[in-house]
Amino acid sequence: MLQQPHTKYRAFAPIGLKDRTWPDAVLTRAPIWLSTDLRDGNQALVEPMDIARKMRMFEQLVAIGFKEIEVGFPSASQVEFDFVRKLIEEDRIPDDVTIQVLTQAREPLIARTFESLQGAPRAIVHLYNAVAPIMRTVVLGMDEDEIVALATSHAAMFNDLAARQRHTCWTFQYSPEMFSGTDLAFSKRVVDAVTAVWNASPERKCIINLPSTVEHSTPNIFADMIEWMHRHLARRDGIVLSVHPHNDRGTGTAAGEFALMAGADRIEGCLFGNGERTGNLDLVNVALNLYTQGVWPGLDFSNIDEVRATVEHCNQIAVHPRHPYAGDLVYTSFSGSHQDAIKKAFAARREGDVWDMPYLPIDPKDVGRSYEAVIRVNSQSGKGGMAYLLESEYGIEMPRRLQIEFMQVVQGVMDVAGTELSAANIYALFEREYGLATVQALSNRVLEAQADASVLLRGQLHWEGALVDMQGQGNGPIDAFIQALQEATGHRVRVIDYHQHAIGAGADAKAAAYLELRVDEAQTLFGVGLDADVISAALKAIVSGLERATAQGRQGAQCTVVPA
Ligand SMILES: CC(=O)SCCNC(=O)CCNC(=O)[C@H](O)C(C)(C)COP(=O)(O)OP(=O)(O)OC[C@H]1O[C@@H](n2cnc3c(N)ncnc32)[C@H](O)[C@@H]1OP(=O)(O)O
Ligand SMILES: CC(C)C(=O)C(=O)O
Ligand SMILES: [Mg+2]
């Protein structure tokens, strides 16, 4: 029988940490953030950044508020080396920012790394070597003792080289590469040996960074591993415990968050999750997840589009439109029921309320987005979304039954076009359907109060291409107009419902009138009028409704074809 391909994989063994505490932990403060955009992110690019791009990224990271930034792998190339030199020699590193650089545990590379840091006021030097069995056997050809010796001998080199550059305030960092694929006891053995060489203490802490170099377990297992290390490492009070998740299973964010719950103090990642293969942990995602729990992350993403533009420029990789918090579409609802709920929640929301909005986990304004894109209308949309757009963009506050009526018009267009309709498209349809640009106000209008408290209305109506004299009397202008209209056009109109509101304020304010009419006791439909004058708006709305009724009557007559 043919072997099933999946049988060549094996399940990741659970850690079996029985007394784990991390599932109940609640994150209440921000971790120490380390951006490795300029190192792990950069090493994963088709075209690594040149110095200009690196500088632009560095300045963006500083502007966001990162205090620790891994700026490169100085022994890898001249560009990497020169960039570190430029930062130092041109005094580009703010006083509250520490740069970090990475080196393999190899003598010449370490020497070159320290050379790149000459004159730096502060620096984190980051040492790594692989510890996982597959790397030990296949790549390095070393047994466990030899790996420990590799790590400790090169860690000792750090002590020596740092002692020769006394003007720099040094922090040492060690990463057991492929920690997530390594037996915990062995990881602890290597890390304990390194921290002993560095004599880590509360006064002179070092950073121990535990990577899921390749993510190959569920995030709860990674969290168990971090909690185990947090509880078992020697010199724990001399260690800043850091994690460095990757995202191969698409759970990098969860792994990072669980790891923080499990005792990690610090987290490494890249903006929007750039990095090797499927990327590093997405720092924006984790930071804004904290933000939406009411925890200030200490990183400023109040203009996320600017950050995204910088990252896209530097990495030459586009951020996906569905990317959490940053994508073009992530604050947009197309589907009708979502739009309906958002519209109602916006209407119910009062200044100062806790953010509790359906389908919007964060206020788009907090990341510099407007509400404009929150609702977009296509064939999946309903009246709520359409009405929201007309209200938010044009100040049109349609009564509910008008929404239902006009949505049929919108739906008809959408069914034919099949594409999205913008607010401007919808307004153009609304304008055409209700004759907003064509229905004219009553000319030479005269309104006279009568002794019996009624009013007399006179004027000239634009009706079917002619200017018709009209006159009527009633208990108000609308009543009088309806009387006059019947005489002038022969159509009997009854007002069923009436809504009006102002659009805008001051000299530019307009009145909007929405009248539901019964025409000739045959049709019920709306008319809409907009005018600077309230009475004109209402009268226009009646003419709008009457014109629609007669147009629909004509259409109905044309359509009534009786087959022979
Ligand atoms: C998970 C991570 O992200 S780790 C960071 C990875 N980042 C990078 O590799 C980017 C920068 N790297 C580079 O520019 C280069 O790879 C360099 C400069 C580091 C090394 O370049 P080279 O010397 O040409 O070697 P190469 O890249 O092929 O590395 C493989 C060699 O290093 C050895 N090696 C790998 N890791 C280690 C280590 N930690 N300590 C000692 N030797 C190591 C391998 O066994 C292999 O040795 P071999 O040539 O004797 O077979
Ligand atoms: C160098 C280490 C921290 C790394 O990038 C990894 O293991 O993913
Ligand atoms: Mg990495």
Q: Which residues contact 505 (CB under 8 A, 6 or more apart)?
A: none
Sheet holding 493-503, edge to edge: 493-503, 510-519, 523-531
Say if CB 206 and CB 195 are below 8 A apart: yes
CA 520 from chain centre, in angstroms, equals 53
The token pair at 556 is: 């109905």
* Segment 496-520, tens digit of pLDDT: 999 999 999 998 999 999 999 999 9
Contact 50, 78 (CB under 8 A): no
d(CA 209, CA 176): 7
Supply the DSSP symbol for 184: H
- Give the whole-angstrom CA distance, residue 348 versus residue 97: 44
Assess whether pLDDT exceeds 50 at residue 562.
no
The reported pLDDT for the residue numbered 563 is 33
For residue 387, what pLDDT is reported?
95
Report the alpha-carbon distance of residue 328 to residue 336 in Å, rounded: 19
Give, in words, the CATH class of 29-315.
Answer: alpha beta
Nearest ligand, measured from the Cα of 135: 1
Cα(127) to ligand 1 centroid in Å equals: 12
The residue whose CA has the least distance to atom 8 of ligand 2 is: 213
The answer to whether the beta carbons of residues 167 and 201 sit under 8 Å apart is: no
Domain residue limits, the chain? 29-315, 336-367, 383-434, 443-558
Q: Is 293 helix (H, G, I), strand (E, B) or coil?
A: coil
Pocket test for ligand 2, best of 39, 40, 225 (most atoms within 8 A of CB): 40
pTM equals 0.86
Percentage above 70 pLDDT, the chain:
98
Residue nearest atom 7 of ligand 2, based on CA coordinates: 213
- Cα of 211 vs centre of ligand 2, distance in Å, is 6
Q: How far apart are the first and last CA of the chain?
A: 69
What are 351-376's pLDDT values in tens digits?
Answer: 999 999 999 999 999 999 987 788 88
Tens of pLDDT, residue by residue over 237-249, are: 999 999 999 999 9
Test site for ligand 2: of 216, 244, 276, most ligand atoms within 8 A of the Cβ: 244
What is the model's pLDDT at position 564?
A: 31
pLDDT of residue 558: 38
Three-state DSSP state, 169: strand
Q: How far is CA 304 from the centre of its chain?
A: 8
Is residue 557 pLDDT above 80, yes or no?
Answer: no
Strand partners, 446: 458
Q: Which tens digits make up the pLDDT trace of 46-60?
A: 999 999 999 999 999
Q: What is the model's pLDDT at position 554?
A: 75
Q: Which atom of ligand 1 is nearest to the CA of 276?
A: 3
Q: Which helix (H) or strand (E) holds 69?
A: strand 68-72
Q: Which pLDDT value is given to residue 13?
A: 84
- Give me the mean pLDDT over the 432-456 stretch: 95
**Ligand 1 centroid – CA 246 distance (Å):** 19
Cα distances (Å, whole numbers) of residue 501 to 224, 402, 514:
60, 14, 9
Q: Which of 4-18, 150-164, 276-290, 454-468 has the lowest mean pLDDT?
A: 4-18
Q: What is the mean pLDDT of residues 156-170?
A: 98
List Cβ neighbours of 113 (8 Å cut-off, separation of 6 or more).
74, 75, 101, 102, 103, 125
Decide if pLDDT at 432 tops 90: yes
Whether residue 15 is predicted with pLDDT greater than 80 in this model: the reply is yes
pLDDT digits (tens, 9 = 90+) for 120-129: 999 999 999 9
The per-residue pLDDT for 228 is: 98
Question: Strand, helix or coil at 383?
Answer: helix
DSSP 127-143: EEEE-SHHIIIIII---
Q: Could you tell me which residue, 4 or 160, shows the higher pLDDT?
A: 160
Q: Ligand 2, atom 2: nearest CA belongs to which residue?
A: 177
Mutation test residue for ligand 2: of 39, 134, 213, the one with most atoms within 8 Å of CB:
213
Give the residue, by CA position, lying nearest to ligand 2 atom 4. Answer: 213
Q: What are the φ/ψ torsions at residue 10 (nearest 5 degrees)?
A: -125, 150
Distance 213 CA to ligand 2 centre (A): 5
Task: Say if residue 280 carries a ligand binding annotation.
Answer: yes
Give me the DSSP letters along 255-271: HHHHHHHTT--EEEEBG
Which residues does a 6 A CB cutoff place in the pocket of ligand 1?
A: 40, 43, 73, 75-76, 104-106, 128-130, 139-140, 177, 213
| pLDDT for the residue 159 | 98
Percentage of the chain exceeding pLDDT 90: 90
For residue 386, pLDDT over 50 is answered with: yes
Distance 104 CA to ligand 1 centre (A): 7
Residues that place a CB less than 5 A from ion ligand 3: 40
Q: Give me ligand 3 centre to Cα 275, in Å.
A: 7
Closest ligand 2 atom, residue 179 Cα = 7
Q: Which residues line ligand 2 (CB under 6 A)?
A: 40, 102, 128, 175, 177, 209, 211, 213, 244, 246
Residue 373 has what pLDDT?
81
Average pLDDT over residues 463-485: 95
Mean pLDDT rounded to a whole number for the chain: 95
* Distance between CA atoms of residues 379 and 394, nearest Å: 21
Query: What is the spatial distance between Cα 294 and Cα 388, in angstroms, rounded to a whole number?
Result: 28
pLDDT of residue 454: 95
Query: Annotated binding residue at 246?
Result: yes
Select 443-558's CATH number: 3.60.150.10, 3.30.160.270, 3.40.190.10, 1.10.10.10.
Answer: 3.30.160.270
User: 383-434 and 443-558 share one CATH topology?
Assistant: no
Write the burial class of residue 106 (CB in 10 Å: 0-12 exposed, 13-18 middle, 19+ buried).
middle
pLDDT per position as a tens digit, 261-303: 999 999 999 999 999 999 999 999 999 999 999 999 999 999 9
What distance in angstroms lies between residue 36's CA and the mean position of ligand 3's atoms?
Answer: 9
Strand partners, 528: 514
- pLDDT at position 556 is 57
Domain 383-434 indexed as CATH 1.10.1220.20: yes
Average pLDDT over residues 209-236: 98
